[in-house]
Amino acid sequence: MEITHIGNRGMVFTFDDLSSPDYACPTNVYVIHTGKSFFICDTFLGPASMKEVKEYLEKEYGEKEYIIFNSHSHWDHHWGNSAFPKSKIIAHELCMEDMRENAESILEKNAKFKRGKVTITYPNLLFKNNLNFDEEQILIFHSPGHTLDSSSCYDSADKVLFVGDNLEEPIPYINSNLEGLKVYIESLKYYTSLNIDAIVPGHGQVSDKSLLEANLHYLENFPNLAELIDIEKQGKSFYIVHLANLNRLATIYADEKNNLEALKYFKLLLEINEQVNLYEEESLKTINQRIKDLDK
């Protein structure tokens, strides 16, 4: 675990447990020390991960009230809630809904990733639009994008924005059809109206408005690419995520029985892969089979 101080009162705790030899996935827990409390943005994989965070904070600053914020319902962001059974745990009401439905079964499925004894610990302070902590100069607000329940935390004293998984290096993952994408873009446009010195994403390095601009540029052009394909310039991971996004988009349309749209994006995926060559034989076979089935 690595600790980076940002601004006057922010700390990013970065964990590498989810990285693998071919997939770097550093995950961030962002902490704002307001003087009388610690705001903890996301809680990673369990109480054992949070023990390291708590020990550091209490050693440096003494014991304070903990206030927890979950950016969304994905398991890598809330399993550590169980380290804070008596604290306020804030989340969007859709996050709660999703957790109630899925958290237990996902915990069972991904049990090998848990750190310490994880008991699903639900949020106990829900909001719909936003939650303002005036005195602490902290605003928590709904920012649907990566998921419909995604929310963000803005520290206006330090001008730091914690975005959960809404922004990613080099480009974000898309989990909706093109209609849903409009909502995602609106959330990022709202980010651009904030006065921001630093952006803390749920995964990857601390960045600034350049990450926001690059992600917004990509989403506004999606499913097309804004630039000509250039694997040297953009890097492999850019196209790996782009192909995953086309695959997801096509799959969503297929699930919605919108076969024409599904076909269009599976074919676009194959076209781009011809140029970047990132798909294994096996995956190509699966996609060609899907195209055949949809064409019937």
Residues at the site binding Zn ion, with contacts judged by CB under 5 A: 76, 165, 202
Return the number of the residue (34 or 143) whose C-beta is nearest Zn ion.
143
Return the number of the residue (76 or 261) whose C-beta is nearest Zn ion.
76
Return the number of the residue (199 or 294) whose C-beta is nearest Zn ion.
199
Return the number of the residue (26 or 116) whose C-beta is nearest Zn ion.
26
Pairing state between β 27-33 and 37-41: antiparallel
**Cβ 263 to Zn ion shortest distance, Å:** 31
**Cβ 46 to Zn ion shortest distance, Å:** 15
**Cβ 89 to Zn ion shortest distance, Å:** 18
Of residues 66, 27, 25, the one with CA closest to residue 44: 27
Report the alpha-carbon distance of residue 64 to residue 88 in Å, rounded.
13
CA 145 to chain CA centroid, nearest Å: 9
Report the alpha-carbon distance of residue 231 to residue 239 in Å, rounded.
8
Return the number of the residue (76 or 98) whose C-beta is nearest Zn ion.
76
**Cβ 238 to Zn ion shortest distance, Å:** 19
Q: Is 195 exposed, middle or buried (0-12, 13-18, 19+ CB in 10 A)?
A: exposed
Return the number of the residue (165 or 169) whose C-beta is nearest Zn ion.
165
**Cβ 113 to Zn ion shortest distance, Å:** 12
**Cβ 27 to Zn ion shortest distance, Å:** 7
What is the residue-wise DSSP string for 170-233? Answer: S-----S-HHHHHHHHHHHHHHHTS--SEEE-SBS--B-HHHHHHHHHHHHHTTS-SS---HHH
